[in-house]
Amino acid sequence: MSSLTRAPEYAHSHGSQRLAACISTLIRWDGVAAVATKIGAALAAILDNLESRRIAVLLCGVRARTNFGDEHEKAFAVMFAGLARKYNVLFFPAINEAVIDDAQLKAVDGLHPNAAGDKAIVAQILPIVETLIDRARPRDRDPTP
């Protein structure tokens, strides 16, 4: 079983507590259509599992680096947005948006964020994470005092 389809195993419910899941994925950029389809299917399986368990979800897309071309960026943007619509989950279109075009926010490998990049990502995504936390909070079943 791939790590993509195992992810729901780690989200367990605890009595009346509700849990939340933030889902993103690493993307290998070779064979765009095939990879987007494969990743989309794996993410759909995860979302089906979480939806059946009423776990609040934040789906985080990833923006392709510009050197891969428009086809890559569009294929994954469409896949992530389509899943978010289908499953009616919170959606952050590009978790790497804050750093992808800013070399000062990247580590020496030119791909991953450095400490300043991590801070930029957190600042950008924090409001929607707070919404996710709010959705995951247990609600009293009986509103009467």
Higher-scoring residue by pLDDT: 24, 110: 110
CB 20 within 8 A of CB 56: yes
Of 23-27, 51-55, 98-102, which range is least confident? 23-27
At residue 145, the pLDDT reads 47
| Euclidean distance between CA atoms 79 and 102, whole angstroms | 25
Looking at the predicted structure, is the pLDDT value of residue 130 above 90? yes
Class of domain 21-136: alpha beta
Looking at the predicted structure, is the pLDDT value of residue 108 above 70? yes
- Work out the pLDDT band at 65, boundaries 50, 70, 90: low
Q: Which residues contact 82 (CB under 8 A, 6 or more apart)?
A: 40
- Work out the pLDDT band at 12, boundaries 50, 70, 90: very low
- The domain limits of the chain are 21-136
Give the whole-number percent of the chain exceeding pLDDT 90: 43
Looking at the predicted structure, is the pLDDT value of residue 35 above 80? no
